[in-house]
Amino acid sequence: MDSSSELQAENQALRQQLESLLREARSNEDKMRRFEQLEHRLIGARSMADLLRLLLNEYRQSFGIDCVTLALLDRDQETSGLLDAERPRDDQAERAQLDGLTLLHSLKPIESLFQDLTHPSLGPFNEGLHRPLFGTPSPALASVALLPLSRHGELIGSLHFGSTDPSRYERAAGTQLLQRLAAIVSVCLDNALNHERLKRAGLSDMLTGVHNRRYFEHRSQIEVSQARRYQHDLACLFLDLDHFKTVNDSFGHAAGDAVLQKIAHIIQAQLRAGDTVARFGGEEFVVLLPQAPAQHARDIAERIRLSISAEPLTLPGGEVVPISVSIGLAMLGLSHLSGDSPSLAQGLVNDADRALYRAKATGRNRVTCSAASDKLGETLGPQKNAH
C-alpha cells in the first residue's frame, strides 16, 4: 500500500472515530435532556402516588429499562395509608401503575446491599441476592443497578434498575447520574411525605383524630363513583350522641371532649380496613361502608351502638358518664344512580341523616334505616339486637 492509500485509510479511520464520538455526545446530550425533564417532573410531583408512578413507569419507559422496582421503609404503615386514601378502591389500572413497589416494616431486606449510602451498586444479576428485589421478570435480567435512598445519613429505601443487557450496568460504569438521581429521589420522597402529612392534618379532626367533614365529602364522591362503576353496595351511617348537651352541662366540656374521643375510638374498632369514619360536626359522626350489603351494614351499625352503650366513661373524679348513640342507615340504591357523583353522595348522606332523625324521634339509642332502603325494614334498638 502506497503512502497515499495509507493516508486515506488513516483519514477514514479518524472520520469514523469522530462520528462515533459525535454520536456518543449526541446520545449523552439526549440522555441528559431526558434526565433533566424527569428530574423536573419528580420535583413537581403533586402527591406521593404521582411521584411513585413517575419512578416505576415513566423512568423505565424514558430510558428503556427492562425492570424498575422500589423498596421503601414504612414501619408505621404511613405510606400505605396515604396511598390507600388517595387511590379509588378496586381500581386495577391504578394499582398496576404501582407494581414494583414494596413497603417494608424493617430495613433488613435491603440494608446489607449497601456498604456506602452515597454510591449505587452495579453488577451482574445474582439470583439469590437480587430475586427478592425484582421478582421474576421476563426476559431474565443480566445486570442491575441498586440505588440507596437516604435522608440525613439514614437509609429510607432503595431504587432498583434491571437490564437484560449484561453490559448496561457493569461495575466499572460511571455512576454520576445515578448518584444524582438517588439524591433527588430521596429528597422528593421526603418532601412528598411531609406534604402528605400537612394535607392529612388539614383533613383530620384535631380532637378525635378521625377524618373531618372535608375529607368525608371528598371520599364519599370517590366511593359513589366506585359503587356505580362496579355495581357494588355502598352504605352510609349517620351517628349522633344522645343527650350530649347534658354531658357538657353536667360534667364540663373536658368530659364532653373525652366522650367524643372515646366514641371515635369505638367506631374505628368496629370498622373494616377500607371503611371511612369522619367527625361531621359537633357530636355527629358519619361512616362509609363500601361493598357492604344492607344486612351486613345494619349488623355493623348495631355493633357500634351496642359497643358504645356498653362502655360508660369514668371521669378522673370517679363520675360515670353513660353514653348512647342514635344511628341512621342509608344504602346507595343501584336503581337510582342517575346524576353526578357529588349529588348522589349528598343524597346518600341526606337519607342517612333523615333516618337518624327518625331514630331520635322514636326513642334514641337505636339504629333506624332510611325509607329508601326498604329492604332493611325494621328499627333496631335496645329491645332487639342484631347478631
Give the residue numbers annotated as catalytic, written as ranges: 283
- What is the per-residue burial (b if ≥16 Cβ within 10 Å, else e) of 355-372? bbebbbeeebbbbbbbeb
Alpha helices by DSSP H, the chain: 3-43, 48-53, 59-63, 78-86, 92-96, 108-111, 127-134, 176-201, 213-230, 244-251, 253-270, 294-309, 341-361
| Nearest Cα to Cα of residue 367 among 325, 332, 331, 333 | 325
Please count the residues of the chain: 387
- What is the per-residue burial (b if ≥16 Cβ within 10 Å, else e) of 307-320? ebeeeebeeeeeee
Query: Number of helices (H) and strands (E), helices first, in the chain?
Result: 13, 12
Give the distance, in angstroms, between the CA of residue 220 and the centroid of all CA atoms in the same chain: 16
Grid cell, residue 331, equals: 344504602
Q: 139 preceded by cis ω (within 30°)?
A: yes
Please state, in angstroms and as integers, the Cα–Cα distance from residue 264 to each residue in 179, 185, 207, 214, 280, following that order: 46, 37, 10, 17, 11
